[in-house]
Amino acid sequence: MAGTLLSGLTGLNGCSKVEPTRPNVLFICIDDLNDWVGCLDGNNQSLTPNIDRLAEEGMLFTNAHCSYPLCSPSRISMFTGLNPATTGTYDNFLPLREAAPNAVTLMQHLRAQGYYTMGTGKIFHMEKPDPLSFNVEFQPGFRSAAPPNRPVNGLNLHKYFDWGPVDVPDSAMHDTAVCDWAMQQLEREYDSPFFLAMGLFRPHAPLYAPTKYFDKFPKETIQLPEVIDNDLDDVPQLGRDMADSIHWHQPVKKSGEWKAAVRAYHACVAYADAQVGRILDTLDQSPHHDNTIVVLTSDHGWHLGEKERWHKETLWEEASRVPLIFKVPGLTQANTQSDAPASLLDLYPTLVDLCDAPQRPEIEGRSLLPQLKDPAAKRSEPALITNGEGNYALRDSQWRYVRYADGTEELYDHQTDPNEWTNLADSPDHAATKTRLAQWLPVH
């Protein structure tokens, strides 16, 4: 396969037959994947049989959220175990080692504990290598095929804000090459436990995928997200600014491209799911099947017109909720779920626990090991989501509380209002709920 090895193979003994005593880890991160997967019931038209199969084989966190709804801040937070408010990482422009020069990443920590660490695809933003994290890192030397005569949607809003089918086989897509390399690593023997991270770019925009995936979703059958008129009327100005409906949503509505965009998102998710199926099939057939933890998640969600928003970078459910699945041999029970609030910040301490490595004192997440042992185990701490300096959301098992930098607020009861249509923040009846949740806001 064409591509570039970004660091050496030091420490690998491909001929060894020694079985590692500590578990391996296969970590799958899918970019911009919201709750439109079958096991999360986010959209009943989604086709994700392989992600759903993994959820059936392991444990699904149904209330998992990113720490920041943007690629680089989310990934830096996820792999350093530090909140964006701690590192001051609020955009895509600050690389990992500038944002957190002294941080020890999850992979770096496990590597120091004897793990052989490998990465491919989008792990850190823009697929920037991190030699401190990985013994070996591979990136394909090409980008995915694209349709001619772009933009396909005719909107000319942004080079990435486009969608449409590409008449090519899967092999012409970047993520297929990423998956190919990861599969090859699973077929090898190792003389130490390994950590293999595979990052898929789709369904990140532009929403291009092979035609066969679009064919699974005839345009005339596409259902639009459930929305209401004037949804933003009870939202503070900073929230309306995040929605930015004039810039994105109104042109999509006026052009008649809304269904085409939803169709394209479904197609890209189906394509990504096919790659997940390939890597899971390879693991099942490999000698590592019985001793490999599988974790699947996304860096954040994505809006497709809900709250008049396209893109991410809001403090609402569509931008923060992500799939989070663990399959831990000998620990997780098949087809189990936890509704306890979980954060991607919790992945670092959880995997450190599962890999029998020492915890690091600076880590700000909390291990999900109690929930993995007992899906009914509760958590008092809500998931914290940041979007820009001083803007936060807190999500527990029932409520989403939003506080903006200017002190304005939103509060939604997910038991009665899962679409977050009615802002209860000004109701005296819910003052105690706001006070209880506000104690978890960052103080620095």
For the chain, the C-alpha Rg in angstroms (whole number) is 21
- Which CATH number belongs to the domain containing residue 109 in this structure? 3.40.720.10
Domain count for the chain, please give it. Answer: 1
For residue 298, is it within any domain? yes
For residue 27, is it within any domain? yes
**pLDDT at site 128:** 81
| SS3 at position 196 | strand
**pLDDT at site 71:** 96
Report residue 431: phi and psi, to 5°.
-60, -40
For residue 414, is it within any domain? no
Residue 400 has what DSSP assignment?
E
Q: What is the pLDDT of residues 14-35, one digit of tens each?
A: 434 444 589 999 999 999 999 9
For residue 424, is it within any domain? no
For residue 319, is it within any domain? yes
For 92, 152, 211, 266, 441, the CA distances from 163, given in Å and listed in that order, are: 22, 6, 12, 11, 38
**pLDDT at site 125:** 86
**pLDDT at site 143:** 82
Instruction: Measure the CA–CA gap between 18 and 191, rounded to whole angstroms.
Output: 5
Q: Print the domain residue range for 326.
A: 4-9+22-381
**pLDDT at site 99:** 86
- Mean pLDDT score of the chain, rounded to an integer? 94
Instruction: Measure the CA–CA gap between 425 and 434, rounded to whole angstroms.
Output: 8
For residue 440, is it within any domain? no
For residue 238, is it within any domain? yes
Residues noted as catalytic: 71, 125
| Residue segments in the chain with a per-residue pLDDT below the cut of 70 | 1-20
The answer to whether the bond into 206 is cis (omega within 30° of 0) is yes
**pLDDT at site 199:** 97
Full DSSP string of 88-154 = T--SSSS-HHHHSTT---HHHHHHHTT-EEEEEESSSGGG---TTT-SEEEE-SS-----SSS-TTS
